[in-house]
Amino acid sequence: MEEPQRSTEPAAPAGDPAEDKPPLRVGMVGYAFMGAAHSQGWRTAGRVFGLPLRPVQAVICGRDEAAARAAAGRHGWAAVETDWRALIARDDIDLVDICTPGDSHAEIALAALAAGKHVLCEKPLANTVAEAETMTAAAEEAQARGRVAMVGFNYRRVPATALARRLVADGRIGTLRHVRVTYLQDWLVDPRFPLTWRLRRERAGSGSLGDLGAHIVDLAQYLAGERLAGVSALTETFVRERPLPGAGSGLTATPAAGTGKVTVDDAALFTGRFTSGALASFEATRYATGRKNALCVELNGERGSLSFDLERLNELWFHDATEPGAVAGFRRILVTEPEHPYLAAWWPPGHGLGYEHTFVHQVRDLVHAIAEGRRPEPSFADGLQVQRVLAAVEESAEKNSVYTSVAD
């Protein structure tokens, strides 16, 4: 598992020394929500951290040329393509960043790796285990040629979760006993919300399981420093027919005629066992009324516990069970000190960071991996492991199985 960042990396020096560093020319496929978030990372990382390479926002790609050009102007991309194959064929691109729905991840990533590009691919890595296996094999071959591939699980890059991983790795909570994780949203509770691509299996692969569950499976395994060995699961689709999408998006859309079938899960609930025997529970839903982006994780060990809430992402709660009972209890760590992961390059203590900074940190770590010629984390192999867990969850739910092992 990834070693948490320990350096007190300084901020980028005054002036613009980045101009003297070799460029890392990026082509990004996709320009919507994740495209905007990734753009923030590429635009900002070199201005904050003293990176060994200079990220260059060379090309953005989208099928709608007008929308892609608008995104290029808004987010700072120099050129536009409307065909991802043309983007990959360009000789002025070193890295391809994939921010598209899951049904295109494998095809784009395999073509980019074959063309000798580095690859960053949004999570989940693919829509199926078979696709993820093919992508991982291609990434291993590319690594031997000096090209790296990383999957974008950005919640590893919250300073508080990176600090939690450090504390676990340092033995501060001792032998792990329990991990419990929930990821709760409510954006689908209105049955009038249209049938977007995220609600269609052929595009998204799965519903809340792949969208939210992938995040919490990766985060749980990252924090624990070990893998899940098996799961027992339930899934449910609460609204099975939705209006077909028309112009616009969300509840402001002009509806098209008719409805279509929702072919993914709305909620997933599962338990699991880590290879060490530690127990875990997971809940991922887009139907938790009143919850917007509530990702919470708690780890309990023989010597202590850790608790994190994404909606209070500058805080980590720690209980040291070795202290006398009269004074022991959870205490809040405000994760803004320069000794904390990533924070030496940012603001004075007490000045918190936000969601967008996780993508800046993601770029920081990827650029260092490329410059140092080492495998980035999370790697495609890590993404494949998550995909296997998701497949085991679906198999368990479909069979009403008590326990389904995670295949190797």
- Name the burial class of residue 337, with classes exposed (0-12), middle (13-18) and buried (19+) by CB atoms within 10 angstroms of its CB: middle
CB 128 within 8 A of CB 57: no
pLDDT tens-place string over residues 136-148:
999 999 999 999 9
d(CA 405, CA 36): 37
Give domain 17-155's CATH architecture: 3-Layer(aba) Sandwich (3.40)
d(CA 312, CA 294): 9
**Around Cβ 252, how many Cβ atoms within 10 Å?**
7
Q: How far apart are the first and last CA of the chain?
A: 17
| Beta pairing class for 267-274 and 228-236 | antiparallel
User: What is residue 5's predicted lDDT score, i.e. its pLDDT?
Assistant: 54
d(CA 355, CA 36): 12
Percent of the chain with pLDDT strictly greater than 70:
92
Q: Evaluate if residue 32 carries a pLDDT over 50.
A: yes
User: What is residue 408's predicted lDDT score, i.e. its pLDDT?
Assistant: 78
Q: Evaluate if residue 8 carries a pLDDT over 60.
A: no
The mean per-residue pLDDT over the stretch 256-262 comes to 85
- Cis peptide upstream of residue 378 (ω within 30 degrees of 0): yes
The mean per-residue pLDDT over the stretch 364-387 comes to 98
Give domain 159-312+314-353+380-399's CATH architecture: 2-Layer Sandwich (3.30)
The mean per-residue pLDDT over the stretch 217-239 comes to 97
pLDDT tens-place string over residues 307-343:
999 999 999 999 999 999 998 999 999 999 999 999 9
Question: What residue has token string 């082509």?
Answer: 27
The mean per-residue pLDDT over the stretch 44-50 comes to 97
Instruction: Show the tokens assigned to 190.
Output: 């209105």
Q: What is the pTM of this model?
A: 0.92
Query: Closest Cα partner for 295 from 174, 153, 402, 191?
Result: 153
User: What is residue 7's predicted lDDT score, i.e. its pLDDT?
Assistant: 47
Cα torsion angle, 364, 369, 370, 375, sign: negative
User: What is residue 20's predicted lDDT score, i.e. its pLDDT?
Assistant: 86
The mean per-residue pLDDT over the stretch 193-198 comes to 94
Which has the higher per-residue pLDDT, 401 or 296? Answer: 296
The mean per-residue pLDDT over the stretch 205-229 comes to 96
d(CA 309, CA 209): 19
d(CA 106, CA 136): 10
User: What is residue 353's predicted lDDT score, i.e. its pLDDT?
Assistant: 98
User: What is residue 3's predicted lDDT score, i.e. its pLDDT?
Assistant: 53
Largest CA distance in the chain: 66
Question: What residue has token string 């085991």?
Answer: 392
CB 75 within 8 A of CB 43: yes
Distances (CA, A) of 71 to 45, 51, 56, 57, 226: 19, 25, 16, 12, 39
User: What is residue 10's predicted lDDT score, i.e. its pLDDT?
Assistant: 59
Which has the higher per-residue pLDDT, 65 or 256? Answer: 65
Structural domain boundaries in the chain: 17-155, 159-312+314-353+380-399
The mean per-residue pLDDT over the stretch 39-56 comes to 98
What single string gives the DSSP state of each residue in 314-376? TEEEEEETTS-TTT-S-EEEE--STTSTTGGGSPSTT----TTHHHHHHHHHHHHHHHHT---
What single string gives the DSSP state of each residue in 224-261? HTS-EEEEEEEEE-S--EEEPP-BSSGGGSBPPSSEEE
Cα torsion angle, 62, 41, 363, 18, sign: positive
User: What is residue 246's predicted lDDT score, i.e. its pLDDT?
Assistant: 76
d(CA 60, CA 72): 6
User: What is residue 39's predicted lDDT score, i.e. its pLDDT?
Assistant: 98
Cα torsion angle, 146, 147, 149, 154, sign: positive
Q: Evaluate if residue 254 carries a pLDDT over 60.
A: no
